[in-house]
Amino acid sequence: MMAGRAIAGVVVSLAVAAAAATDRPAAPPAPIAALGLDPAQLELWNEGFALETRESFRASNERYEKLAAGHPESAFLAWRIARNYWRDGERLPVGAKEDRHAAFARSLEWADRSLARDPNCGECVLWAIVSRGRLATTMGVVASVSTVAPMAALIERGIALQPTTRDNEWNTTLGNIYYAASGFYRVAPEGVWVKWVIGARGNKDRALDYIERAVAISPMRVDYRLELGAVLTCIGVERGDAAALERGRHELEQTRALPHHLGTDPVDVKHAEILLAKPELACGYSRDGFIDLRGVESARVVTRGRRP
């Protein structure tokens, strides 16, 4: 349904996924070291990591998947593979729907494997969220319902885990989950019927709480500031709240001066300018486009009776 596409468009617009290590490690990370790799397997890891760093995601996954075949117990390898597939799909043109669908489907497959191996893995939860979200944007209105339905529960699980992993000062698993949660609750419709369709109703105040937590963790993130501005502007427009509108404008203007960490930052700055000019678009904003939320009611008619 359209609600699924709208939510997914925000949740999985996560530039978080674009973060990977920038240098080849002197030694493998602890989850890889714990596998007790033989020299040939260690070389597979090193090659895969170097290729991932150069953003050769498919070639990287060729190495990682060979390694994972010998270590099916590794949640760490599974979520790294899921992230590579997501990043590869994210680079494809929006019009390449079949190729994007294939990449995000593989990402979801590996993300679900990672969660099955370790239900308490924060990164596994994060990639299960964002792979579902981006896959849903390629599936169409009705077909996305079953894909989006688990997202609310996954978001709550990820927050409850309070993961502490941090790639660097601007990229943390917990911050990214809060960011995803904000987009989900901002764009989800608030009607009573929504909860049985996608597992949760929209809640702008909850969205604001989550994105403020994300910004507190990494205030230098352009995408986080954009989302904070979008939530505040959405609240201001819906409720006629001049103070929220002014705060939203301030946050959107902040994106102009922030340093760029992600390849999607220039796009986000442009979107902030659009929201400054057209604040009425804020509630339906996603990096994939501006969702016409008036169409959600028609999707409700189509999906009525399809309880998950």
Per-residue pLDDT, 192: 62
In angstroms and rounded to an integer, the radius of gyration of the C-alpha atoms of the chain is 19
Residue 164, judged by CB atoms within 10 A of its CB (0-12, 13-18, 19+), counts as: exposed
Per-residue pLDDT, 4: 52
Q: Which residue has the higher pLDDT, 125 or 167?
A: 125
- pLDDT tens profile 172-218: 999 999 998 998 889 877 766 566 566 678 899 999 999 999 999 99
pLDDT over threshold 70, residue 104: yes
Contact 86, 114 (CB under 8 A): no
Structural domains of the chain sorted by starting position, each given as residue range(s) with its CATH number in brackets: 2-20+71-303 (1.25.40)
Contact 189, 148 (CB under 8 A): no
How far is the C-alpha of 308 from the C-alpha of 290, rounded, in Å?
27
Single pTM value for the model:
0.81
- The first and second tokens of residue 204, run together, are 């702008």
Per-residue pLDDT, 191: 65
- Adjacent-strand bridge partners of 172: 166
Per-residue pLDDT, 134: 80
What is the average pLDDT across 105-132? Answer: 94
Per-residue pLDDT, 92: 84
Question: Cα angle vertex 168, ends 167, 172, to 5°?
Answer: 60
Q: Which residue has the higher pLDDT, 181 or 1?
A: 181
What is the average pLDDT across 151-165? Answer: 92
